[in-house]
Amino acid sequence: MFKTILLQSSLLGQNAPISKASDYFPIGIQIAFAVVLVTIMILGSQLLGPKRKTTDKLQVFESGIEQFGNARQPMAIKYFLVAILFVLFDVEVIFFYPYAVNFKALGWDGFLAVLMFIGFFLAGFIYIIKKGALHWED
């Protein structure tokens, strides 16, 4: 390890600095100060803040709208299915970016890998269409 440091410093033409534990002391002080400050603020607000519990404050508040009925109503699964499929295919498309950036360096091996990826992508898409996941007639 020491030879590596000497080699790096000679390649750079300068003395490479070696970090010591004392170099991290200011960071430790800053983290400790932040933790103490947050603790003091939370405890101070608990001790000094008003504590008036009225029936109005203890009621459930739902965006200013009075609560009525059951919140557990059935919803069509199509909405969730389309959202999940969008995320799935959106994330798959993101994987095309690294290939687009490095397509010259990847050569034919990279091209074949992307063709295989597109094949899996299209197979999944065809499967979804054949299952009727994108039909909205219900």
The whole model's pTM is what?
Answer: 0.41
Q: Would you give the DSSP letter of residue 23? A: G
Statement: residue 16 has pLDDT above 70: no
Per the prediction, the chain carries an average pLDDT of 80
Q: What is the pLDDT of residues 31-89, one digit of tens each?
A: 999 999 999 999 999 999 888 888 877 777 667 676 677 767 777 777 777 788 888 77
- Reference 93, options 129, 136, 125; nearest CA is 125
- The domains of the chain are located at 2-58, 77-131
CA 41 to chain centre: 29
Instruction: Work out the pLDDT band at 14, boundaries 50, 70, 90.
Output: low
Fold of the 77-131 domain: Methane Monooxygenase Hydroxylase; Chain G, domain 1 (1.20.58)
pLDDT number for residue 38: 97
pLDDT number for residue 40: 97
